[in-house]
């Protein structure tokens, strides 16, 4: 199992590493949200352990951004905040579990194992009509043919397929790709155009729809 620890306390990271590496886990660590996001975008993790109080961007904002980008790795949030309101806030932005500090390292392991077992049972392949997207391998297949997407096209497709048949706004798609720095010109339309050519080419069933002045959706009209 591969785990990413996001915490700015070096001693805590060292203690977790010392415990879990002896149990054959593979661990990565990041001390701030920007490095953590890069790791999440380039690696597959089974579990993320996320501290609420991070420098620059806190854990809540990081988790909200992670989910907006279509990354749904299970997250255990760590925090000294123990009020019910705080826990509900964590769950509302996408946390899968919440563990208050100080905590037992054995309880952390038990929660990791329980969450991992639950996640194994979840769907790892998104499918709409004959379009399939494997979230573990990142392979996209339609009409039994492998489709190669660039990172921006993949982010768009993941969001559209996860939200299907709902409409995904232009603003949400732009944030998933460029976060708070969208380009001056409408590059999203160009990405959608290229994605359509790859997904809807050579088939009578067109899945990607434009909802004028609202956004885009993937829907199978039988």
Confidence band, pLDDT 50/70/90 cuts, at residue 41: confident
- The tokens describing 109, both together, are 């392991």
More confident residue, 179 or 127: 127
What phi and psi, each to the nearest 5 degrees, are found at residue 209? -115, 145
Please write the tens of the pLDDT for every residue from 62-107.
999 888 877 888 999 999 888 888 889 889 888 999 999 899 999 9
Q: What is the pLDDT of residues 130-166, one digit of tens each?
A: 999 987 778 999 988 999 999 899 989 988 998 888 8
Task: List, edge to edge, every strand of the sheet that includes 47-51.
Answer: 26-30, 2-6, 47-51, 75-79, 97-100
Q: What is the pTM of this model?
A: 0.58
217 alpha carbon, distance to own chain's centre: 19
Q: Report pLDDT for 169.
A: 87
pLDDT in the model for residue 222: 62
Q: What pLDDT, in 10s, does the model give residues 117-126?
A: 877 656 678 8
Q: What angle do CA 40, 46, 52 make, to 5 degrees?
A: 60
């Amino acid at each position: 199992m591969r785990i990413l620890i996001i915490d700015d306390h070096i001693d805590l990271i060292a203690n977790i590493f010392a415990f879990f590496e002896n149990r054959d886990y593979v661990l990565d660590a990041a001390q701030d949200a920007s490095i953590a996001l890069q790791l999440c975008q380039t690696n597959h993790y089974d579990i993320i352990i996320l501290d609420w109080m991070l420098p620059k961007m806190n854990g809540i904002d990081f988790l909200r951004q992670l989910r907006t980008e279509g990354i749904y790795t299970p997250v255990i949030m760590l925090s000294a905040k123990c009020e019910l309101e705080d826990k509900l806030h964590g769950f509302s932005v996408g946390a899968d579990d919440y563990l208050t500090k100080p905590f037992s390292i054995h309880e952390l392991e038990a929660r990791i194992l329980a969450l991992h077992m639950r996640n194994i049972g979840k769907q790892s392949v998104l499918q709409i009509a004959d379009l399939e997207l494997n979230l573990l391998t990142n392979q996209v297949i339609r009409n039994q043919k492998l489709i190669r997407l660039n990172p921006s096209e993949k982010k768009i497709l993941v969001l559209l397929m996860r939200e299907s048949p709902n409409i995904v706004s232009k603003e949400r798609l732009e944030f998933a790709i460029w976060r708070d720095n969208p380009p001056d010109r409408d590059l999203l339309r160009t990405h959608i155009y290229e994605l359509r050519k790859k997904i809807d080419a050579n088939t009578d069933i067109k899945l990607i729809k434009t909802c004028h002045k609202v956004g885009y959706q993937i829907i199978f009209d039988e």
